[in-house]
Chain A
Amino acid sequence: MKTKNNPLYYILFIAIFAILLPAGYMSGLISVNTISVWGRYFCFAIAALGIDLIWGYTGILSMCQAFFFCLGSYGIAMHLLLKKTMATGAVLPDFMAWNKIETLPLFWQPFQSFGWTLLLCLLVPALIAFAAGFVLFRSRIKGVYMAIITQALTLAMWLLFLRNETNLGGTNGLTDFKTLLGYDLSSSSVKLGLYMISFTMLCAAYFGCYRITHSKFGKVLQAIRDSESRISYAAYKVVDYKLAIFVVAALLAAVGGMLYLPQTGIITPGRMDVKASVEMVMWVALGGRGNLKGAVIGALLVNFLYSVCTSLFPDSWLFILGFLFVITVLYFDKGFMGLANSIKQRFSTGSFKTSQTPL
Protein backbone atom coordinates (compact mmCIF):
# COMPACT_ATOMS: atom_id res chain seq x y z
CA MET A 1 0.00 0.00 0.00
CA LYS A 2 3.01 2.25 0.38
CA THR A 3 3.03 3.46 -3.21
CA LYS A 4 5.22 6.37 -4.10
CA ASN A 5 3.08 9.42 -4.29
CA ASN A 6 3.41 10.55 -7.82
CA PRO A 7 2.17 14.14 -8.16
CA LEU A 8 1.45 13.37 -11.81
CA TYR A 9 -1.82 11.64 -10.93
CA TYR A 10 -3.06 14.64 -9.02
CA ILE A 11 -1.98 17.10 -11.71
CA LEU A 12 -3.66 14.99 -14.37
CA PHE A 13 -6.85 14.68 -12.33
CA ILE A 14 -7.06 18.40 -11.63
CA ALA A 15 -6.12 19.29 -15.21
CA ILE A 16 -8.90 17.16 -16.66
CA PHE A 17 -11.71 18.08 -14.31
CA ALA A 18 -10.89 21.62 -13.23
CA ILE A 19 -9.52 22.95 -16.51
CA LEU A 20 -10.23 20.71 -19.49
CA LEU A 21 -13.91 19.99 -18.87
CA PRO A 22 -14.90 23.58 -17.97
CA ALA A 23 -12.82 24.82 -20.91
CA GLY A 24 -14.58 22.35 -23.18
CA TYR A 25 -17.90 23.72 -21.97
CA MET A 26 -16.84 27.33 -22.43
CA SER A 27 -15.81 26.61 -26.00
CA GLY A 28 -19.10 24.83 -26.65
CA LEU A 29 -17.66 21.35 -27.21
CA ILE A 30 -19.25 19.87 -24.10
CA SER A 31 -22.88 20.38 -23.15
CA VAL A 32 -23.82 21.74 -19.77
CA ASN A 33 -25.53 18.44 -19.05
CA THR A 34 -22.22 16.59 -19.26
CA ILE A 35 -20.75 19.07 -16.80
CA SER A 36 -23.67 18.56 -14.45
CA VAL A 37 -23.45 14.78 -14.76
CA TRP A 38 -19.79 14.81 -13.76
CA GLY A 39 -20.62 17.16 -10.91
CA ARG A 40 -22.96 14.48 -9.61
CA TYR A 41 -20.27 11.83 -9.96
CA PHE A 42 -18.01 13.94 -7.74
CA CYS A 43 -20.71 13.79 -5.06
CA PHE A 44 -20.73 10.00 -5.32
CA ALA A 45 -16.95 10.03 -5.09
CA ILE A 46 -17.12 12.03 -1.84
CA ALA A 47 -19.45 9.40 -0.37
CA ALA A 48 -17.17 6.66 -1.74
CA LEU A 49 -14.25 8.17 0.21
CA GLY A 50 -16.30 7.67 3.37
CA ILE A 51 -17.03 4.06 2.42
CA ASP A 52 -13.34 3.48 1.84
CA LEU A 53 -12.51 4.85 5.29
CA ILE A 54 -15.04 2.70 7.10
CA TRP A 55 -14.78 -0.44 4.96
CA GLY A 56 -11.46 -0.35 3.12
CA TYR A 57 -9.39 0.91 6.03
CA THR A 58 -11.29 -0.19 9.12
CA GLY A 59 -12.86 -3.34 7.72
CA ILE A 60 -16.42 -2.51 8.77
CA LEU A 61 -18.85 -3.17 5.94
CA SER A 62 -21.46 -0.46 6.41
CA MET A 63 -24.47 -0.71 4.12
CA CYS A 64 -26.16 2.44 5.39
CA GLN A 65 -23.99 5.02 3.63
CA ALA A 66 -26.73 5.45 1.01
CA PHE A 67 -29.10 6.41 3.83
CA PHE A 68 -26.71 9.08 5.12
CA PHE A 69 -26.30 10.31 1.56
CA CYS A 70 -30.08 10.66 1.29
CA LEU A 71 -30.32 12.47 4.61
CA GLY A 72 -28.03 15.16 3.19
CA SER A 73 -30.06 15.32 -0.02
CA TYR A 74 -33.44 15.42 1.70
CA GLY A 75 -32.31 18.23 4.00
CA ILE A 76 -31.31 20.48 1.13
CA ALA A 77 -34.41 19.40 -0.81
CA MET A 78 -36.69 20.47 2.05
CA HIS A 79 -35.04 23.88 2.13
CA LEU A 80 -35.32 24.37 -1.63
CA LEU A 81 -38.93 23.25 -1.65
CA LEU A 82 -39.90 25.63 1.14
CA LYS A 83 -38.18 28.51 -0.67
CA LYS A 84 -40.02 27.68 -3.88
CA THR A 85 -43.33 27.37 -2.06
CA MET A 86 -42.82 30.74 -0.44
CA ALA A 87 -41.94 32.29 -3.80
CA THR A 88 -45.21 31.08 -5.29
CA GLY A 89 -47.12 32.42 -2.31
CA ALA A 90 -48.45 29.05 -1.16
CA VAL A 91 -48.33 28.02 2.50
CA LEU A 92 -47.41 24.39 2.04
CA PRO A 93 -45.51 22.38 -0.58
CA ASP A 94 -47.84 20.88 -3.19
CA PHE A 95 -47.58 17.29 -2.04
CA MET A 96 -48.65 18.25 1.48
CA ALA A 97 -51.65 20.09 0.18
CA TRP A 98 -52.62 16.97 -1.77
CA ASN A 99 -52.27 14.91 1.39
CA LYS A 100 -54.64 17.35 3.14
CA ILE A 101 -52.10 18.61 5.63
CA GLU A 102 -52.93 22.03 6.94
CA THR A 103 -49.87 23.19 8.83
CA LEU A 104 -46.20 22.70 8.12
CA PRO A 105 -44.94 19.72 10.18
CA LEU A 106 -42.69 20.77 13.03
CA PHE A 107 -39.56 19.07 11.67
CA TRP A 108 -39.87 21.06 8.47
CA GLN A 109 -39.75 24.42 10.28
CA PRO A 110 -35.95 24.79 10.73
CA PHE A 111 -35.39 24.11 7.04
CA GLN A 112 -36.72 27.55 6.18
CA SER A 113 -33.33 28.95 7.09
CA PHE A 114 -30.35 27.99 4.97
CA GLY A 115 -27.96 28.06 7.93
CA TRP A 116 -30.09 25.68 9.96
CA THR A 117 -30.47 23.47 6.89
CA LEU A 118 -26.70 23.13 6.46
CA LEU A 119 -26.26 22.44 10.15
CA LEU A 120 -29.04 19.84 10.33
CA CYS A 121 -27.89 18.13 7.12
CA LEU A 122 -24.63 17.37 8.89
CA LEU A 123 -25.88 17.02 12.44
CA VAL A 124 -28.69 14.54 11.80
CA PRO A 125 -26.55 11.95 9.93
CA ALA A 126 -23.75 12.39 12.45
CA LEU A 127 -26.08 11.82 15.40
CA ILE A 128 -27.76 8.81 13.78
CA ALA A 129 -24.36 7.33 12.94
CA PHE A 130 -23.20 7.98 16.48
CA ALA A 131 -26.26 6.36 18.05
CA ALA A 132 -26.31 3.36 15.69
CA GLY A 133 -22.55 2.94 15.92
CA PHE A 134 -22.56 3.22 19.68
CA VAL A 135 -25.06 0.39 20.03
CA LEU A 136 -23.49 -1.82 17.33
CA PHE A 137 -19.85 -1.40 18.27
CA ARG A 138 -20.48 -1.67 22.00
CA SER A 139 -22.19 -5.03 21.45
CA ARG A 140 -19.12 -6.05 19.40
CA ILE A 141 -21.09 -6.72 16.26
CA LYS A 142 -18.69 -7.46 13.44
CA GLY A 143 -18.26 -8.73 9.93
CA VAL A 144 -21.27 -9.97 8.07
CA TYR A 145 -23.64 -9.25 10.99
CA MET A 146 -22.65 -5.60 10.83
CA ALA A 147 -23.43 -5.58 7.10
CA ILE A 148 -26.81 -7.24 7.65
CA ILE A 149 -27.85 -4.91 10.46
CA THR A 150 -26.81 -1.73 8.64
CA GLN A 151 -28.58 -2.97 5.51
CA ALA A 152 -31.68 -3.64 7.59
CA LEU A 153 -31.46 -0.12 9.00
CA THR A 154 -31.29 1.30 5.49
CA LEU A 155 -34.23 -0.85 4.41
CA ALA A 156 -36.28 0.27 7.41
CA MET A 157 -35.52 3.90 6.64
CA TRP A 158 -36.36 3.35 2.99
CA LEU A 159 -39.77 1.97 3.98
CA LEU A 160 -40.27 4.90 6.35
CA PHE A 161 -39.41 7.47 3.66
CA LEU A 162 -41.77 5.72 1.21
CA ARG A 163 -44.77 6.41 3.41
CA ASN A 164 -46.81 9.54 2.79
CA GLU A 165 -47.31 9.90 6.54
CA THR A 166 -43.60 10.65 6.94
CA ASN A 167 -44.34 13.92 5.11
CA LEU A 168 -41.28 13.66 2.90
CA GLY A 169 -43.07 13.15 -0.39
CA GLY A 170 -43.39 9.38 -0.21
CA THR A 171 -42.44 7.41 -3.34
CA ASN A 172 -42.33 10.55 -5.46
CA GLY A 173 -39.74 12.13 -3.24
CA LEU A 174 -39.07 15.84 -3.37
CA THR A 175 -38.60 17.62 -6.66
CA ASP A 176 -39.32 20.69 -8.75
CA PHE A 177 -36.90 23.14 -7.17
CA LYS A 178 -36.27 26.55 -8.63
CA THR A 179 -33.60 28.49 -6.81
CA LEU A 180 -30.79 28.01 -4.32
CA LEU A 181 -29.94 31.15 -2.34
CA GLY A 182 -31.60 33.11 -5.11
CA TYR A 183 -29.60 31.51 -7.92
CA ASP A 184 -31.63 29.91 -10.68
CA LEU A 185 -30.82 26.20 -10.64
CA SER A 186 -31.67 25.75 -14.32
CA SER A 187 -29.12 28.32 -15.51
CA SER A 188 -25.92 26.99 -17.07
CA SER A 189 -23.58 29.16 -15.03
CA VAL A 190 -25.12 27.96 -11.76
CA LYS A 191 -24.67 24.38 -12.97
CA LEU A 192 -21.03 25.08 -13.73
CA GLY A 193 -20.67 26.72 -10.32
CA LEU A 194 -22.13 23.68 -8.56
CA TYR A 195 -19.80 21.48 -10.61
CA MET A 196 -16.81 23.48 -9.42
CA ILE A 197 -18.00 23.47 -5.80
CA SER A 198 -18.47 19.69 -5.94
CA PHE A 199 -15.01 19.28 -7.43
CA THR A 200 -13.45 21.50 -4.76
CA MET A 201 -15.26 19.60 -2.03
CA LEU A 202 -14.07 16.31 -3.50
CA CYS A 203 -10.47 17.55 -3.44
CA ALA A 204 -10.91 18.82 0.13
CA ALA A 205 -12.48 15.52 1.21
CA TYR A 206 -9.67 13.60 -0.45
CA PHE A 207 -7.07 15.73 1.27
CA GLY A 208 -8.81 15.30 4.63
CA CYS A 209 -9.07 11.53 4.20
CA TYR A 210 -5.43 11.44 3.08
CA ARG A 211 -4.41 13.20 6.27
CA ILE A 212 -6.52 10.83 8.38
CA THR A 213 -5.22 7.65 6.77
CA HIS A 214 -1.60 8.78 6.96
CA SER A 215 -1.81 9.76 10.63
CA LYS A 216 -1.34 7.34 13.47
CA PHE A 217 -5.13 7.34 13.73
CA GLY A 218 -5.29 5.81 10.24
CA LYS A 219 -2.79 3.16 11.23
CA VAL A 220 -4.92 2.24 14.22
CA LEU A 221 -7.87 1.85 11.83
CA GLN A 222 -5.87 -0.55 9.66
CA ALA A 223 -4.75 -2.37 12.78
CA ILE A 224 -8.41 -2.80 13.78
CA ARG A 225 -9.06 -4.31 10.35
CA ASP A 226 -6.08 -6.67 10.69
CA SER A 227 -6.44 -7.81 14.28
CA GLU A 228 -9.01 -6.22 16.49
CA SER A 229 -8.04 -8.21 19.57
CA ARG A 230 -4.35 -7.36 19.28
CA ILE A 231 -5.05 -3.64 19.10
CA SER A 232 -7.31 -3.73 22.15
CA TYR A 233 -4.64 -5.60 24.13
CA ALA A 234 -2.33 -2.76 23.10
CA ALA A 235 -4.71 -0.51 25.10
CA TYR A 236 -6.55 1.17 22.21
CA LYS A 237 -10.26 1.67 22.79
CA VAL A 238 -11.51 0.08 19.59
CA VAL A 239 -15.10 1.30 20.08
CA ASP A 240 -13.97 4.96 20.14
CA TYR A 241 -12.02 4.58 16.93
CA LYS A 242 -14.80 2.73 15.11
CA LEU A 243 -17.36 5.25 16.26
CA ALA A 244 -15.23 8.20 15.18
CA ILE A 245 -14.63 6.85 11.69
CA PHE A 246 -18.27 5.78 11.31
CA VAL A 247 -19.37 9.35 12.04
CA VAL A 248 -16.75 10.75 9.63
CA ALA A 249 -17.94 8.35 6.91
CA ALA A 250 -21.56 9.36 7.54
CA LEU A 251 -20.62 13.04 7.29
CA LEU A 252 -18.82 12.47 3.98
CA ALA A 253 -21.88 10.65 2.63
CA ALA A 254 -24.11 13.50 3.80
CA VAL A 255 -21.89 16.16 2.19
CA GLY A 256 -22.02 14.16 -1.05
CA GLY A 257 -25.81 14.04 -0.77
CA MET A 258 -26.10 17.75 -0.06
CA LEU A 259 -24.14 18.67 -3.20
CA TYR A 260 -25.90 16.02 -5.27
CA LEU A 261 -29.41 17.34 -4.72
CA PRO A 262 -29.23 20.77 -6.44
CA GLN A 263 -27.46 19.22 -9.44
CA THR A 264 -29.95 16.42 -9.99
CA GLY A 265 -33.10 18.28 -9.02
CA ILE A 266 -34.89 15.33 -7.41
CA ILE A 267 -34.50 13.02 -4.46
CA THR A 268 -36.60 9.91 -3.97
CA PRO A 269 -36.25 7.02 -1.52
CA GLY A 270 -34.94 5.02 -4.52
CA ARG A 271 -31.51 6.57 -3.78
CA MET A 272 -31.30 4.45 -0.64
CA ASP A 273 -32.97 1.21 -1.61
CA VAL A 274 -31.04 -2.03 -1.29
CA LYS A 275 -29.71 -1.82 -4.85
CA ALA A 276 -28.39 1.70 -4.34
CA SER A 277 -26.65 0.89 -1.08
CA VAL A 278 -25.00 -2.19 -2.54
CA GLU A 279 -23.92 -0.22 -5.59
CA MET A 280 -22.16 2.37 -3.44
CA VAL A 281 -20.07 -0.35 -1.82
CA MET A 282 -19.34 -1.78 -5.26
CA TRP A 283 -17.78 1.49 -6.45
CA VAL A 284 -15.16 1.09 -3.76
CA ALA A 285 -14.75 -2.64 -4.32
CA LEU A 286 -14.18 -2.10 -8.04
CA GLY A 287 -11.95 0.91 -7.58
CA GLY A 288 -9.78 -0.63 -4.91
CA ARG A 289 -10.49 -1.08 -1.25
CA GLY A 290 -8.09 0.52 1.23
CA ASN A 291 -6.93 2.98 -1.37
CA LEU A 292 -8.36 6.49 -1.50
CA LYS A 293 -7.55 7.00 -5.18
CA GLY A 294 -9.31 3.71 -5.87
CA ALA A 295 -12.49 4.90 -4.16
CA VAL A 296 -12.61 8.11 -6.20
CA ILE A 297 -11.75 6.41 -9.47
CA GLY A 298 -14.18 3.57 -8.76
CA ALA A 299 -17.07 5.94 -8.11
CA LEU A 300 -16.32 8.05 -11.19
CA LEU A 301 -15.65 5.14 -13.52
CA VAL A 302 -18.60 2.96 -12.51
CA ASN A 303 -21.01 5.85 -12.80
CA PHE A 304 -19.51 6.90 -16.12
CA LEU A 305 -19.87 3.31 -17.35
CA TYR A 306 -23.42 3.33 -16.04
CA SER A 307 -24.39 6.33 -18.13
CA VAL A 308 -22.60 4.99 -21.22
CA CYS A 309 -24.00 1.46 -20.88
CA THR A 310 -27.55 2.47 -20.05
CA SER A 311 -27.71 4.51 -23.23
CA LEU A 312 -26.04 1.86 -25.43
CA PHE A 313 -27.59 -1.31 -23.96
CA PRO A 314 -30.38 -0.14 -21.64
CA ASP A 315 -31.30 -3.57 -20.29
CA SER A 316 -27.96 -5.09 -19.56
CA TRP A 317 -26.34 -2.64 -17.13
CA LEU A 318 -26.82 -4.83 -14.07
CA PHE A 319 -25.31 -7.78 -15.94
CA ILE A 320 -22.27 -5.72 -16.85
CA LEU A 321 -21.86 -4.47 -13.30
CA GLY A 322 -22.31 -7.98 -11.90
CA PHE A 323 -19.79 -9.36 -14.37
CA LEU A 324 -17.26 -6.67 -13.42
CA PHE A 325 -17.80 -7.42 -9.76
CA VAL A 326 -17.30 -11.15 -10.19
CA ILE A 327 -14.10 -10.58 -12.16
CA THR A 328 -12.85 -8.18 -9.50
CA VAL A 329 -13.49 -10.60 -6.68
CA LEU A 330 -11.96 -13.52 -8.57
CA TYR A 331 -8.92 -12.00 -10.21
CA PHE A 332 -8.01 -8.63 -8.78
CA ASP A 333 -9.23 -8.21 -5.25
CA LYS A 334 -7.58 -4.81 -4.96
CA GLY A 335 -9.77 -3.38 -7.72
CA PHE A 336 -8.73 -1.14 -10.60
CA MET A 337 -5.96 0.44 -8.55
CA GLY A 338 -4.57 -2.96 -7.60
CA LEU A 339 -4.71 -4.03 -11.24
CA ALA A 340 -2.96 -0.83 -12.36
CA ASN A 341 -0.26 -1.32 -9.72
CA SER A 342 0.41 -4.92 -10.65
CA ILE A 343 0.61 -4.04 -14.35
CA LYS A 344 3.05 -1.27 -13.48
CA GLN A 345 5.09 -3.72 -11.41
CA ARG A 346 5.06 -6.20 -14.23
CA PHE A 347 6.48 -3.65 -16.65
CA SER A 348 9.07 -2.35 -14.24
CA THR A 349 10.37 -5.65 -12.86
CA GLY A 350 9.26 -8.11 -15.52
CA SER A 351 7.78 -10.39 -12.89
CA PHE A 352 4.11 -10.62 -12.04
CA LYS A 353 3.50 -10.55 -8.36
CA THR A 354 -0.03 -10.76 -7.08
CA SER A 355 -0.64 -8.81 -3.95
CA GLN A 356 -1.69 -10.85 -1.02
CA THR A 357 -3.65 -9.11 1.62
CA PRO A 358 -6.17 -10.53 3.99
CA LEU A 359 -9.81 -9.81 3.51
Chain B
Amino acid sequence: MLLNVNNLSVSFGGVHALNLDHFSLRDKELRVIIGPNGAGKSTFLDIICGKTKADKGEILFNGKAVTGKTEVAIAEMGIGRKFQKPSVFPGLTVHDNLLLAAKMKKDIFSSLFFKPTAALADRIHAVATKLSLTTVMYKMAGDLSHGQKQWLEIAIVVLQDPTLMLIDEPAAGMSDEETEKTGALLLELSKAHSIIVIEHDMKFVEQIARELVTVLVRGKRLMEGTFAEVKNDQRVIDCYLGRTNAQLETL
Protein backbone atom coordinates (compact mmCIF):
# COMPACT_ATOMS: atom_id res chain seq x y z
CA MET B 1 0.00 0.00 0.00
CA LEU B 2 1.27 3.46 -0.93
CA LEU B 3 -0.77 5.37 1.61
CA ASN B 4 -2.00 4.06 4.94
CA VAL B 5 -4.07 6.17 7.29
CA ASN B 6 -5.09 4.99 10.75
CA ASN B 7 -7.32 6.59 13.38
CA LEU B 8 -6.82 10.06 12.01
CA SER B 9 -8.75 12.76 13.80
CA VAL B 10 -8.84 16.53 13.93
CA SER B 11 -11.34 18.89 15.48
CA PHE B 12 -11.83 22.60 15.05
CA GLY B 13 -13.15 24.26 18.19
CA GLY B 14 -14.77 21.11 19.53
CA VAL B 15 -16.30 20.06 16.22
CA HIS B 16 -14.97 16.77 14.92
CA ALA B 17 -14.01 17.69 11.38
CA LEU B 18 -12.48 14.32 10.69
CA ASN B 19 -12.46 11.00 12.51
CA LEU B 20 -11.18 8.47 10.03
CA ASP B 21 -10.61 4.92 11.29
CA HIS B 22 -8.83 3.60 8.25
CA PHE B 23 -7.98 4.60 4.69
CA SER B 24 -5.51 3.01 2.33
CA LEU B 25 -4.49 3.56 -1.25
CA ARG B 26 -2.71 1.21 -3.62
CA ASP B 27 0.10 2.38 -5.88
CA LYS B 28 -1.25 3.80 -9.20
CA GLU B 29 -4.80 3.76 -7.88
CA LEU B 30 -7.32 6.48 -8.68
CA ARG B 31 -9.62 6.90 -5.71
CA VAL B 32 -12.61 9.19 -5.61
CA ILE B 33 -13.83 10.58 -2.31
CA ILE B 34 -17.40 11.85 -2.19
CA GLY B 35 -19.57 13.11 0.60
CA PRO B 36 -21.90 15.94 1.51
CA ASN B 37 -20.59 19.40 2.43
CA GLY B 38 -18.67 19.43 5.68
CA ALA B 39 -17.87 15.72 5.47
CA GLY B 40 -14.17 16.46 5.99
CA LYS B 41 -12.97 15.65 2.47
CA SER B 42 -10.85 18.74 1.97
CA THR B 43 -9.70 18.56 5.60
CA PHE B 44 -8.44 15.05 4.91
CA LEU B 45 -6.34 16.26 1.96
CA ASP B 46 -5.20 19.28 4.00
CA ILE B 47 -3.81 16.94 6.63
CA ILE B 48 -2.01 14.75 4.12
CA CYS B 49 -0.29 17.70 2.44
CA GLY B 50 0.63 19.40 5.71
CA LYS B 51 -1.71 22.39 5.59
CA THR B 52 -3.61 21.26 8.68
CA LYS B 53 -2.09 19.47 11.66
CA ALA B 54 -3.88 16.33 12.84
CA ASP B 55 -4.79 15.99 16.52
CA LYS B 56 -3.92 12.30 16.49
CA GLY B 57 -3.51 9.37 14.19
CA GLU B 58 -0.91 8.29 11.69
CA ILE B 59 -0.39 8.68 7.99
CA LEU B 60 2.19 6.45 6.36
CA PHE B 61 3.31 7.27 2.84
CA ASN B 62 5.59 4.58 1.38
CA GLY B 63 6.03 3.41 4.95
CA LYS B 64 7.23 6.82 6.15
CA ALA B 65 5.28 9.02 8.55
CA VAL B 66 3.84 12.18 7.01
CA THR B 67 2.28 13.77 10.09
CA GLY B 68 4.33 16.53 11.70
CA LYS B 69 6.34 17.26 8.57
CA THR B 70 6.37 20.69 6.86
CA GLU B 71 4.61 21.35 3.55
CA VAL B 72 7.95 21.46 1.75
CA ALA B 73 9.14 18.17 3.24
CA ILE B 74 5.85 16.53 2.29
CA ALA B 75 6.05 17.93 -1.24
CA GLU B 76 9.61 16.61 -1.49
CA MET B 77 8.37 13.15 -0.42
CA GLY B 78 6.25 13.17 -3.57
CA ILE B 79 2.82 14.44 -2.62
CA GLY B 80 1.31 17.16 -4.81
CA ARG B 81 -1.86 19.11 -4.10
CA LYS B 82 -4.40 20.90 -6.21
CA PHE B 83 -6.71 23.10 -4.20
CA GLN B 84 -10.45 23.54 -4.50
CA LYS B 85 -10.13 27.23 -5.32
CA PRO B 86 -7.66 27.48 -8.20
CA SER B 87 -4.40 28.61 -6.68
CA VAL B 88 -1.92 29.77 -9.29
CA PHE B 89 0.49 32.74 -9.50
CA PRO B 90 -1.63 35.46 -11.16
CA GLY B 91 1.28 37.90 -11.59
CA LEU B 92 3.41 35.46 -13.58
CA THR B 93 2.94 34.14 -17.10
CA VAL B 94 1.59 30.64 -17.62
CA HIS B 95 5.05 29.56 -18.73
CA ASP B 96 6.66 30.88 -15.53
CA ASN B 97 3.97 29.19 -13.44
CA LEU B 98 4.93 25.90 -15.02
CA LEU B 99 8.66 26.59 -14.84
CA LEU B 100 8.47 27.14 -11.08
CA ALA B 101 6.52 23.93 -10.61
CA ALA B 102 8.82 21.68 -12.61
CA LYS B 103 10.79 19.14 -10.66
CA MET B 104 14.34 20.38 -10.04
CA LYS B 105 16.58 21.67 -7.27
CA LYS B 106 14.68 24.38 -5.47
CA ASP B 107 17.12 26.00 -3.07
CA ILE B 108 17.97 29.69 -3.43
CA PHE B 109 21.31 29.32 -5.22
CA SER B 110 20.00 26.86 -7.78
CA SER B 111 17.21 29.32 -8.50
CA LEU B 112 19.55 32.30 -8.71
CA PHE B 113 21.86 30.61 -11.23
CA PHE B 114 19.17 28.64 -13.02
CA LYS B 115 19.68 28.12 -16.77
CA PRO B 116 16.79 26.72 -18.81
CA THR B 117 17.55 23.43 -20.55
CA ALA B 118 16.02 21.94 -23.67
CA ALA B 119 14.81 18.87 -21.75
CA LEU B 120 12.94 21.09 -19.31
CA ALA B 121 11.41 23.18 -22.10
CA ASP B 122 10.22 19.99 -23.80
CA ARG B 123 8.69 18.72 -20.60
CA ILE B 124 6.86 21.99 -19.94
CA HIS B 125 5.66 22.02 -23.53
CA ALA B 126 4.43 18.44 -23.31
CA VAL B 127 2.41 19.10 -20.16
CA ALA B 128 1.07 22.36 -21.56
CA THR B 129 -0.05 20.55 -24.70
CA LYS B 130 -1.81 17.91 -22.64
CA LEU B 131 -3.74 20.62 -20.79
CA SER B 132 -4.41 22.88 -23.82
CA LEU B 133 -2.31 25.70 -22.41
CA THR B 134 0.05 26.19 -25.37
CA THR B 135 -1.93 29.08 -26.84
CA VAL B 136 -1.80 31.06 -23.58
CA MET B 137 1.80 30.33 -22.57
CA TYR B 138 2.80 34.01 -22.35
CA LYS B 139 -0.44 35.32 -20.92
CA MET B 140 -0.61 36.32 -17.27
CA ALA B 141 -2.09 33.48 -15.24
CA GLY B 142 -4.41 36.00 -13.58
CA ASP B 143 -6.04 36.74 -16.95
CA LEU B 144 -7.02 33.12 -17.66
CA SER B 145 -10.58 31.83 -17.54
CA HIS B 146 -11.66 29.79 -14.54
CA GLY B 147 -11.41 26.50 -16.41
CA GLN B 148 -7.95 27.35 -17.69
CA LYS B 149 -6.82 28.23 -14.17
CA GLN B 150 -8.03 24.81 -13.01
CA TRP B 151 -6.00 23.16 -15.75
CA LEU B 152 -2.99 25.33 -15.03
CA GLU B 153 -3.06 24.20 -11.43
CA ILE B 154 -3.34 20.58 -12.50
CA ALA B 155 -0.39 21.19 -14.85
CA ILE B 156 1.57 22.64 -11.92
CA VAL B 157 0.92 19.48 -9.92
CA VAL B 158 1.78 17.23 -12.88
CA LEU B 159 5.10 19.01 -13.47
CA GLN B 160 6.07 18.43 -9.87
CA ASP B 161 5.88 14.76 -10.84
CA PRO B 162 4.53 13.57 -7.50
CA THR B 163 3.90 9.93 -6.62
CA LEU B 164 0.58 10.89 -5.09
CA MET B 165 -1.67 13.64 -6.42
CA LEU B 166 -4.37 15.12 -4.24
CA ILE B 167 -6.92 16.73 -6.52
CA ASP B 168 -9.69 18.76 -4.89
CA GLU B 169 -12.78 19.34 -7.08
CA PRO B 170 -11.04 19.58 -10.45
CA ALA B 171 -14.29 19.96 -12.40
CA ALA B 172 -15.82 22.75 -10.31
CA GLY B 173 -16.98 25.60 -12.51
CA MET B 174 -16.19 23.79 -15.75
CA SER B 175 -18.44 23.22 -18.75
CA ASP B 176 -19.57 19.65 -19.55
CA GLU B 177 -17.06 19.38 -22.34
CA GLU B 178 -14.20 20.62 -20.14
CA THR B 179 -15.29 18.29 -17.34
CA GLU B 180 -15.16 15.31 -19.65
CA LYS B 181 -11.71 16.29 -20.85
CA THR B 182 -10.51 16.68 -17.26
CA GLY B 183 -11.83 13.20 -16.49
CA ALA B 184 -9.98 11.66 -19.43
CA LEU B 185 -6.83 13.43 -18.34
CA LEU B 186 -7.08 12.12 -14.77
CA LEU B 187 -7.55 8.59 -16.07
CA GLU B 188 -4.47 8.95 -18.20
CA LEU B 189 -2.47 10.39 -15.28
CA SER B 190 -3.51 7.48 -13.08
CA LYS B 191 -1.38 5.18 -15.23
CA ALA B 192 1.73 6.81 -13.82
CA HIS B 193 0.56 8.36 -10.53
CA SER B 194 -1.62 7.52 -7.57
CA ILE B 195 -4.46 9.99 -7.35
CA ILE B 196 -7.09 10.95 -4.79
CA VAL B 197 -9.89 13.03 -6.29
CA ILE B 198 -12.61 14.82 -4.35
CA GLU B 199 -15.70 15.48 -6.42
CA HIS B 200 -19.38 16.38 -6.17
CA ASP B 201 -20.40 15.96 -9.79
CA MET B 202 -21.78 12.39 -9.98
CA LYS B 203 -21.50 12.22 -13.76
CA PHE B 204 -17.84 13.05 -13.46
CA VAL B 205 -17.38 10.52 -10.65
CA GLU B 206 -18.97 7.86 -12.80
CA GLN B 207 -16.53 8.68 -15.59
CA ILE B 208 -13.38 8.41 -13.51
CA ALA B 209 -14.28 5.92 -10.75
CA ARG B 210 -12.90 2.72 -12.24
CA GLU B 211 -12.02 1.31 -8.85
CA LEU B 212 -13.10 2.26 -5.34
CA VAL B 213 -15.14 5.22 -4.21
CA THR B 214 -14.92 6.28 -0.57
CA VAL B 215 -17.90 8.02 1.02
CA LEU B 216 -17.22 10.36 3.93
CA VAL B 217 -20.03 11.66 6.10
CA ARG B 218 -19.53 14.00 9.06
CA GLY B 219 -15.84 13.15 9.21
CA LYS B 220 -16.37 9.39 9.26
CA ARG B 221 -15.95 6.77 6.56
CA LEU B 222 -19.46 5.62 5.72
CA MET B 223 -18.54 3.02 3.10
CA GLU B 224 -16.15 2.09 0.36
CA GLY B 225 -17.08 0.32 -2.85
CA THR B 226 -17.40 0.52 -6.60
CA PHE B 227 -19.41 3.35 -8.08
CA ALA B 228 -22.41 1.08 -8.68
CA GLU B 229 -22.35 -0.15 -5.09
CA VAL B 230 -22.08 3.32 -3.70
CA LYS B 231 -24.79 4.69 -5.93
CA ASN B 232 -27.28 2.04 -4.85
CA ASP B 233 -26.39 1.99 -1.17
CA GLN B 234 -29.35 3.07 0.94
CA ARG B 235 -27.17 4.76 3.58
CA VAL B 236 -25.44 6.89 0.93
CA ILE B 237 -28.76 7.87 -0.60
CA ASP B 238 -30.11 8.72 2.85
CA CYS B 239 -27.26 10.91 3.79
CA TYR B 240 -27.48 12.87 0.56
CA LEU B 241 -31.28 13.03 0.48
CA GLY B 242 -31.68 13.08 4.26
CA ARG B 243 -29.74 16.27 4.39
CA THR B 244 -32.08 17.85 1.93
CA ASN B 245 -35.07 16.69 3.97
CA ALA B 246 -33.58 18.05 7.15
CA GLN B 247 -33.04 21.35 5.41
CA LEU B 248 -36.63 21.33 4.20
CA GLU B 249 -37.91 20.64 7.70
CA THR B 250 -36.12 23.61 9.15
CA LEU B 251 -37.64 25.91 6.55
Contact = CB atoms under 8 A, between A and B. Distances in A.
A356 B91 CA distance: 10
B89 A237 contact: no
Contacts of B88: 226-227, 230
Contacts of A226: 88-92
B240 to A, nearest CB: 31
B137 interface: no
Interface stretch (A42-50, A110-118, A194-202, A210-218): A210-218
A241 interface: yes
Contact of A216 (B71, B72, B89, B99): B99
Interface in B33-74: 49, 51, 70-72
B111 A233 contact: no
Interface in A199-245: 212, 215-217, 219-220, 222-223, 225-227, 229-238, 240-241, 244
Interface stretch (B75-83, B194-202, B206-214, B224-232): B75-83
A2 interface: yes
A227 B100 contact: no
Given A237-B106, A240-B108, A216 B75 contact: no
A244 B108 contact: yes
Interface size classification for chain A? 20 to 34
Contacts of B113: 215
Contacts of B80: 233
Contacts of A244: 108
A223 B108 contact: no
A244 B160 CA distance: 24
B248 interface: no
* Interface size of B as a range: 20 to 34
Nearest to B79: A233
A217 B90 contact: no
B137 to A, nearest CB: 12
A225 B92 CA distance: 10
Interface in B89-132: 89-93, 96, 99-101, 106-108, 111-114
Contact of B91 (A217, A222, A229): A222
A244 B111 CA distance: 12
A232 B101 CA distance: 10
Given A215-B114, A222-B92, A234 B107 contact: no
B173 interface: no
Interface of A: 1-2, 212, 215-217, 219-220, 222-223, 225-227, 229-238, 240-241, 244, 290, 356-358
